[in-house]
Every structure is written in structure tokens, then in C-alpha cells.
Structure 1
């Protein structure tokens, strides 16, 4: 049996939109993400998805849910919420199962970081589950610092915390660490 690889996404084909959690475009993200969490961890992960009220993902403090659309359909997305005055927490990073291995999660993370920086956050925090090696690899590859022993068995740690300090553009166009 041969498998057909998905063609790479071209930037012109993708649109970033900011929508509230209540937007119908968000429903496939939350449904598939909850199903995946349930498959990996058992139980009803959809309950975990409802742990944070929608208002926490709303401006001015909470992150706006960002979706990458291809031909009007959501293919990847995520959100952030306020942890404190300088820290945003990334949540619900997702790529539709039919669109993985195309760099979309990297783009979502970059867009969320950019938006968090615009809103004045200087640090991003996130956690991922111990049974999500793809997410762990993504965060390490995109410059996040693990706040746990990377040599330990992830199952013995529980949620794996990461952080990243955001940079701001200097007047000359050079990035300056804040």
C-alpha cells in the first residue's frame, strides 16, 4: 500500500484569522483536539477542554483564537490566555489530522507569539502532555526552554512545562531581547 503525501502549503493559500471561541470555525478544532486527548489519555478530555471559560481567550488580555484557513476551512489553530501582566499561556495548539507534517503548527505558534508580543506580553508559557512527543518536539524546535528534566520519563512528570521569552523589534529592525 502506498500513501500519498499532502502537498506542502504555500503561504498564499493560508489565511490567518482572529475569531472568538464561539465562532463555528472553531468547532472542528475543539472536537478533534478533544477526541485526540481522549484517545491518548483516556476518559473525557472534552471536559478538560472546557476548563477555561471562553472569556479567557478574548481581547484585551486573553488571546484571540487564530486559525489558518485553506479554501475557507480551518486546518490549524491555537489560542493564548493571560497568566499575568507579562506572561501569556499558549493553549489548544492544533493541526487537523489531514494536514499534519506541513509546518502549520510552527506557523500557528509564531502567529500566537507575534500577537502576544503586540499585546505586551514578554514571556510565553505552555504545557503539553507526556504522551504528545510531537508537541514536545515542536516546542523544543521553536526555541522553548523546557522547565523539566528532559532525561526523565515524561510519564513521571505529568504535564511538561515550557517557556520562551519574546523579543521585540528594535528601532533599527534588529531584534532586542527584553
Structure 2
């Protein structure tokens, strides 16, 4: 997979974000309503990546500064037809590497029980439970994870 830095509002990023939002509708009954400003994913405050196979966008993910040397992962996604090939793990590794290179020492994220494959990926990659934060801080089914880089 070729991973490229793109803007959050780049057409390929928008396509992937629309797909992941539709996935949330299927799994949770609605899209992720976390407030997002595309500028939060522009260097140096953040970064957004799209992964391509044969020139076609198939994966995405980004991070935005969360304060105190932390970044928050958002919009990690792999198109359904491309799952099971290690693309999410490769995207996660690149996101962590880019955050570390930007001087950040910790990654946090929110997910949920309707995404068991995401939970498995993050836990097998060293993420552990952290105190609730952000938009879903009080959501009873939200799972908050973090990892020191």
C-alpha cells in the first residue's frame, strides 16, 4: 500500500471519510458526531493519510493534536473489500510514526464494541484503556484507548 499525506478535505480523504461515516451508521445507527475542523489535520497540528492500492484509495486515518504531547486518532478505516490484508495495521504504524516524528509522545482514540476488529487491532498494538475524554466521554459504550509512543 502506498500511503500519502493529503488534506482532510482532499477528494480521496472525503471519499474515505464518507465511507467510514456510513460504516458508523450501519454499526451504531448514526455517524460519528465528534466536531472536526479540517484544519486540525493540517501540519503541524495534525496529519491525514490515505492509503492506495493500484491508485485507488482503500484506507485512511489521521491524527490531531490533543494537548500535552498527545494526539488523537480519527477516521481509521479500510474499505471492506480490502480488509484482512494488514492495511489497517500498516496505516496505524504510519500514523504512530508520523506523530512521533512530529514530537508527540502519546496517542489516544475512541472506538466502540460494534467495532471488534478495531478493538483487536488496537489492543494487539499495545493500546490500553485510558480515562474517558472528548465528545463521547459520557457515552456508556465508548471505549477509550491510549498508547505511549
TM-score (norm 2): 0.89
The structure number with the bigger radius of gyration is 1
For 1:27 and 1:74, how far apart are their aligned partners in 2? Answer: 11
Name which of 5, 13, 19 aligns with 1:32. Answer: 19
Structure 2: unaligned runs, 5 residues or longer: 132-138
Match of 2:69 in 1: 86
Residue 43 of structure 2 is aligned with which of 59, 64, 67?
Answer: 59
8 Å CA contact 1:140, 1:146 repeated in 2? no
Residues matched between the structures, number: 142
Unaligned runs of 5+ in 1: 1-13, 149-155, 167-178
Is 21-30 or 98-107 further displaced after alignment? 21-30
User: Displacement of 1:103 after TM fit?
Assistant: 0.6
Q: Secondary structure at the match of 2:92?
A: helix
Higher RCO, 1 vs 2 (CA within 8 Å, ≥6 residues apart): 2
Q: 1:40–1:131: 8 Å Cα contact kept in structure 2?
A: yes
Contact 1:130-1:157 within 8 A present in 2 as well:
no
- The Cα shift of 1:129 comes to 1.8
Output the TM-score relative to the length of structure 1.
0.75
The Cα RMSD (Å) is 1.5
